Amino acid sequence: MASGAVAAIAVFFIGFVVSNPTIGIPALNIGLALAASTADYLYASRVGKFVVWADILRSLHLRGDERVLDVGCGRGAVLLMVAKLLPRGRAGGVDLWRTTDQSGNALEATRRNADLEDVADRVELDTADMRALRFPDETYDLVVSSLAIHNIPDSVGRAKAIDEAVRVLRRGGRIVIVDINATREYQARFRERGLVEVHLRSLGPRLWFGGPWVAASLVEARKPA
């Protein structure tokens, strides 16, 4: 809905400027910038994140028998991509299913999507706060999270989410987070928790949610064996 509102504003603004040429070039530039930001957001949301995550998952060279957890899985965009790579494994998804975080976010919606993608037999869903996961220590071979942890408004809460992801990760396992705004926090927390091979990198224009000033980055690390 937010992208639709921005698009409507951009179209109105450009039309208004064209109809009132005395307003001048600066105002037209603002309208064009709004339109470009909307295009970036729509591409990142509908195409870019799937392309980026396909590349990420391919680079992990999964065997197919792992247990993987998606923290803040939402309607299952990444969760179901992972599940397709686990014919002998399990893909777990955790969320609070709040529509303020993602439109249409609901447990039943994710279950339906798993059925539609024919992976329901290997998907496990849990309603839980990512700051207090209900899994035993070292349960998962891989933990992923896509554009979710930043929804926690305070740095203390985000640190708890990172700590929980590290706790449920098996020794030798990897954690991969794609997010906006707080990725340097995650990088620092990984190091504080003793993880190794900690890397942070930009994901480029494919994940610009309104231009380079709202860009997603990838943070990854490994838990020592």
Query: Tens digit of pLDDT for each residue in 187-200?
Result: 999 999 999 999 99
CB atoms within 10 A of CB 177: 29
pTM summary value: 0.80
Confidence of residue 24 (pLDDT cuts 50, 70, 90): low
Q: Backbone phi, then psi, for 196, in 5-degree steps?
A: -120, 175
Confidence of residue 36 (pLDDT cuts 50, 70, 90): very low
For residue 170, the surrounding DSSP H or E stretch is: strand 169-179
Mean pLDDT of 46-71: 92
- What confidence score (pLDDT) does residue 205 get? 77
Q: Is the pLDDT of residue 172 over 60?
A: yes
CA terminus-to-terminus distance, the chain: 44
Q: Please state, in angstroms and rounded to a whole number, the distance separating the CA atoms of residues 88 and 134.
A: 23
In terms of pLDDT, which residue wins out, 65 or 21? 65
Confidence of residue 209 (pLDDT cuts 50, 70, 90): low
Q: Is the pLDDT of residue 207 over 70?
A: no
- What confidence score (pLDDT) does residue 203 get? 87
Angle between helix 183-192 and 155-167 (nearest 10): 50
Token pair for residue 47?
A: 């195409």
Closest CA relative to residue 125, chosen from 74, 192, 169, 77: 74
Give me the DSSP letters along the chain: -HHHHHHHHHHHHHHHHHH-GGG-HHHHHHHHHHHHHHHHHHHIIIIIHHHHHHHHHHHHT--S--EEEEET-TTSHHHHHHHHT-TTSEEEEEE---TTTSTT--HHHHHHHHHHTT-GGGEEEEE--TTS--SPTT-EEEEEEES-GGGS-SHHHHHHHHHHHHHTEEEEEEEEEEESS-HHHHHHHHHHTT-EEEEEEE-GGGGBSSSGGGB-EEEEEE---
Q: Is the pLDDT of residue 25 over 60?
A: no
CATH number of 61-222: 3.40.50.150
Place of tokens 């639709």: 4
Report the share of the chain in percent with pLDDT over 70: 76
Task: Provide the residue ranges of all domains of the chain, joining segments of one domain with +.
Answer: 61-222
Place of tokens 């309104």: 210
